[in-house]
Structure 1
């Protein structure tokens, strides 16, 4: 009987660790509110010389995913939904 007493404790620790991992991650899908998209996209498109199309597509993608990757380029692994939106030709739609 003493051998099985560790199972509830291990399960509790697992659940505690799993919920901590989910809340610690910054950004990610659904981390923005709809009204925060324009500011996040302004930051994302700040370094490009093609601001108008960048802002248009960034806002389009943000409204669908509620997420914008950090930085002005790359880091798309932070937002899989944002990264997976493709053009008809199969290229990335979101900047």
Structure 2
């Protein structure tokens, strides 16, 4: 009986912790609540021809998706469908 209670308690704690801390796949593994959008977007948009526009869009995408792809260009699929499917009002990809 005690073994069943311990197992149930462990299961509930595990579910709770998984709901709090989801891990992003890829090279920029971080706990989602602690993503440094400003720093990651500064790196992402560092070589962009319009860095202010890029940083603003990247910040919005990072806040919503809790992820910024590694590098200065490409690798958008590393952040999943949230990042790749977000569009502007003109139906162009929003996230750099």
- TM-score higher than 0.5: yes
**Aligned residue-pair number:** 74
Equivalence map 1:13-24=2 (5 Å): none
Structure 2 unpaired stretches of 5+: 1-22
CA distance change for structure 1 residues 92 and 62 in 2, over 3 Å: closer, same or farther?
A: same
| CA RMSD of superposed structures (Å) | 2.9
Equivalence map 1:47-66=2 (5 Å): 47-66=47-66
Rg comparison, structure with higher value: 1
Report the 3-state secondary structure (helix = DSSP H, G, I; strand = E; otherwise coil) of the residue aligned with 1:38.
helix
Equivalence map 1:6-85=2 (5 Å): 25-27=25-27, 31-33=31-33, 36-79=36-79, 80-85=81-86
Structure 1 unpaired stretches of 5+: 1-22
8 Å CA contact retained: 1:65, 1:81:
yes
Residue 62 (structure 1) shift: 0.2
With structure 2 as the length reference, what TM-score do the two structures score? 0.64
8 Å CA contact retained: 1:45, 1:51:
yes
Structure 1 moving runs of 4+ over 2 Å:
23-35
Structure with greater contact order relative to length (CA < 8 Å, sep ≥ 6): 1
Deviations 1:36-67 (A, max 9, x none): 00000001001112011000000010000000
